[in-house]
Structure 1
Amino acid sequence: MPKKYLFFVSLPYSYSILRPLQEEIWKNGDEVAWFIEEPCDVLLTKQEKQLSTIQQVIDYNPIAVFAPGNHVYDFFPGVKVQVFHGYAMKKRIERIDDHFTIRGWFDIYCTQGPSSTAYFQKLSQEKGFFKIYETGWCKVDPFFKVAPGAPGNPRPLVLYSPTFTKDISSADKLYDTLRGLMATKPWDWLITFHPKLDDPALIAEYRSLAEEFPHVNFQRFNDGLETLRKIDVMLCDSSSIIIEAMLLDKPVVTYRNTHPGKHLIDVNDKDAIGEALERALQRPQELMDEIHQYTLHHEAHRDGQNSRRVLQAVDDFIENYQGKLKPKPLNLVRKLKIRWKVKYLRFNFL
């Protein structure tokens, strides 16, 4: 009998993360369905199965639920699996990366590489109610099936993709600078915003650049590999998408990155961005070497088999650990809030 799995989607970035995992599930002859939490846009294809109600999910009875976001409905059947929406990036120097926040929803955390595995293993030993498997990130399986490097555009294509994090995002600081570069440099531009960067005025301001300049394109959301493979360089601040670009050998210029290093061309002066992008477009060998070493620290697995390892982790957990770990925290307030939000009135928290 085919195994049944569920994808829990709360933000649009989840689609590109989960589809490689879906391909692996289908390849194994198993089934998967999607539950799209409102108000997230439904962006499914005709081949993809959606479950629209809680009762449909309960009747479907998946053996595992995969979530790239920070929460999942505890009352859904199946092992709860965190597959992450990005890499561990210390956006703020003064505290531990929220990538490592344990909220008590998940049974399994599928880590990506040395930058995340060791700390999660420490947390697992301390708390005792979840297991850690280093699988690699399922989103990047397709990254290693395409040729990396410069795409050969007639004109260099620069991607500007700022983070949403308050006080760290460059989006509210760089409009005038970017507009000046767009008016003077022989480059094409693509602007994408994180789904959580939802300031309507700011979005409208950047969208107006695409209306003003024919060589500028504004795309509300980044669609992962399809976006990154066609660019020459990225301009960013402190977002985990930096690592995704670097996995494709794309140099990255950052504005006031919170953890700069030799893998980046980081600037603190807005007027230095143009010169930094010109250097990035030259792809200096010492920079490209640093990029390779840095990405290995975050994504250790380059065989395109991360999704397979995620599914193996689920099988191992069910066989060896399910029902044998400490109980999860009660999380009473959070569980009540979720039930109130979705009008689910059953209260069996065990």
Structure 2
Amino acid sequence: MAVTKRAQKHLFYISQNYSYAILRPIQEELLKLGLEVKWFLEGEEVNPSYLKSTEPRLKSVKEVKEWRPDIVFVPGNYVPSFIPGIKVALFHGFNSGKIRKGRIGHFDIRGCFDLYCTQGPDTTLKFKELANKYKYFEVKETGWSTLDPLFEFDNSPSNNNKPTILFCSTFTPAISCAEQIFESMRSITKNNNFKWIFQFHPKMDPGTIKKYKSLQSDNVKFIETDDVIPILKEADAMLCDTSSIISMFLLQRKPVVTFKNQGEWNHLININNSHDIVDSLKYALSRPNDLMSKIDAYCNKIHPYTDGKSSIRVINAANEIFNKAKKTKKKKPLNFMRNIKSRLKLNYWGL
């Protein structure tokens, strides 16, 4: 009988600030096990100041190669093949239904990973179909690590005199509502019915961000953060468009109003006219039974895990792959052009 060994070295490969919150619950569990964790930051869109003094960083590919990680966790779409170790895809959000070139982008396979850790049945089935097709990666349903802290929540309405509404918008111009409803939001936020939190995708147009920051008042705050969990907990309802953060919010069993959402969902209150925002939010805050039951059914499909132990499941799934003598039936594709671009970006030309 084969002896199971524990992978010792774990690299967190990140390129966006939201990755910190995805990986820190995993880091906490790895450190409890007495295992090593180091971070590698790719590109200029991730802010190194978000790293804590206790989180060691490898600053070059050369340092990564010399350290030789056993497992690489990636909350993104791509990791170069010249980075050593088992590559584990963790996703940077839920399947929001965004269509790219006629496909749902969440299921794009880029030839980088040995393991996809899926969030729930809704995506597991499709990724297992893709695993059978491509035969060079495996799929394990684990739940999503970033949500472990979310499940220490109280989803009852807040005791504030005024309900708190979280307004989020995606950066994709074709489906972002931020510009479309700005004039309405300027008027709505002057009304004393609600408190508002604005939080946009980090890639949002800086001009749009500046406009919304100008609306800040005693009633309105604009938050830029690497961890959205606290503001998800703070809000009673959400206003959004087509973004994966909707699913994170719904998992608290709290309602969402969307503006021109791309999908056809019965668990959302979708509107097409900005004049309907206030009335729709009031309806959402009443938590009608029919809507709440549909939200519950949706949550059970996308992420049935409410035990706060997805990080442990991710670690165990990755370790299973690490221990396999024969990883997969086929080798991953060479990804020649992607790797050339990565070498240029990272200024690395070694083996």
TM-score category, normalised to shorter length: over 0.9
Question: One-letter code of the match for 2:117?
Answer: C
In the other structure, the counterpart of 1:191 is: 198
Q: Determine which of 10, 20, 25 is the counterpart of 1:5.
A: 10
Task: Trace 1:143-292 onto structure 2 (pairs within 5 A).
Answer: 143-197=150-204, 199-210=205-216, 213-221=217-225, 223-292=227-296
Task: Trace 1:55-94 onto structure 2 (pairs within 5 A).
Answer: 55-92=62-99
Following TM superposition, by how much is the alpha carbon of 1:94 offset from its aligned partner in structure 2, in angstroms? 7.8
Following TM superposition, by how much is the alpha carbon of 1:336 offset from its aligned partner in structure 2, in angstroms? 0.6
Gaps of 5+ in 1: none
Deviation string for 1:106-139 (max 9, x for gaps)?
Answer: 1110011111111111111111111111111111
Q: Determine which of 47, 69, 72 is the counterpart of 1:41.
A: 47
Change (3 A) 1:268 1:186: same
Following TM superposition, by how much is the alpha carbon of 1:93 offset from its aligned partner in structure 2, in angstroms? 9.1
Q: Determine which of 24, 28, 32 is the counterpart of 1:27.
A: 32
TM-score norm. by structure 1 comes to: 0.94
Query: Hey, what's the Cα distance between the residues in 1 that align with 2:326 and 2:69?
Result: 15
In the other structure, the counterpart of 1:102 is: 109
Calculate percent identity across the aligned residue pairs: 40
TM-score norm. by structure 2 comes to: 0.94
Following TM superposition, by how much is the alpha carbon of 1:185 offset from its aligned partner in structure 2, in angstroms? 3.7
Secondary structure of the residue that 2:51 maps to in structure 1?
A: coil
Following TM superposition, by how much is the alpha carbon of 1:283 offset from its aligned partner in structure 2, in angstroms? 1.7
Provide the aligned length of Structure 1 versus Structure 2: 344
Deviation string for 1:258-294 (max 9, x for gaps)?
Answer: 1132211111111111100111122222222211111
Query: Over aligned residues, Cα RMSD in angstroms?
Result: 1.7
In the other structure, the counterpart of 2:119 is: 112
Query: Hey, what's the Cα distance between the residues in 1 that align with 2:120 and 2:330?
Result: 26
Asked if the contact 2:269–2:280 (Cα under 8 Å) also holds between the matched residues in 1, the reply is yes
Following TM superposition, by how much is the alpha carbon of 1:97 offset from its aligned partner in structure 2, in angstroms? 1.3
Deviation string for 1:116-166 (max 9, x for gaps)?
Answer: 111111111111111111111111112222222323223211111011223
In the other structure, the counterpart of 1:317 is: 321
Following TM superposition, by how much is the alpha carbon of 1:62 offset from its aligned partner in structure 2, in angstroms? 1.3
Asked if the contact 1:83–1:109 (Cα under 8 Å) also holds between the matched residues in 2, the reply is yes
Change (3 A) 1:56 1:305: same
Secondary structure of the residue that 1:266 maps to in structure 2?
A: strand
Following TM superposition, by how much is the alpha carbon of 1:323 offset from its aligned partner in structure 2, in angstroms? 4.2
Query: Hey, what's the Cα distance between the residues in 2 that align with 1:174 and 1:185?
Result: 18
Change (3 A) 1:287 1:222: farther
Query: Hey, what's the Cα distance between the residues in 2 that align with 1:116 and 1:172?
Result: 31
Query: Hey, what's the Cα distance between the residues in 2 that align with 1:61 and 1:148?
Result: 43
Query: Hey, what's the Cα distance between the residues in 2 that align with 1:236 and 1:324?
Result: 40
Question: One-letter code of the match for 1:267?
Answer: I
Following TM superposition, by how much is the alpha carbon of 1:321 offset from its aligned partner in structure 2, in angstroms? 5.7
Following TM superposition, by how much is the alpha carbon of 1:341 offset from its aligned partner in structure 2, in angstroms? 1.4
Asked if the contact 1:90–1:96 (Cα under 8 Å) also holds between the matched residues in 2, the reply is no
Secondary structure of the residue that 1:209 maps to in structure 2?
A: coil
Query: Hey, what's the Cα distance between the residues in 1 that align with 2:329 and 2:316?
Result: 19
Task: Judge which range, 276-285 or 13-22, deviates more.
Answer: 276-285
Following TM superposition, by how much is the alpha carbon of 1:220 offset from its aligned partner in structure 2, in angstroms? 2.7
Deviation string for 1:187-216 (max 9, x for gaps)?
Answer: 11111110122x121111111111xx3211
Following TM superposition, by how much is the alpha carbon of 1:186 offset from its aligned partner in structure 2, in angstroms? 2.1
Question: One-letter code of the match for 1:62?
Answer: P
Asked if the contact 2:168–2:239 (Cα under 8 Å) also holds between the matched residues in 1, the reply is yes
Asked if the contact 1:144–1:304 (Cα under 8 Å) also holds between the matched residues in 2, the reply is yes
Question: One-letter code of the match for 1:174?
Answer: I
Asked if the contact 1:193–1:221 (Cα under 8 Å) also holds between the matched residues in 2, the reply is no
Gaps of 5+ in 2: 1-5
Query: Hey, what's the Cα distance between the residues in 2 that align with 1:310 and 1:174?
Result: 39
Change (3 A) 1:4 1:151: farther
Task: Judge which range, 249-258 or 50-59, deviates more.
Answer: 50-59
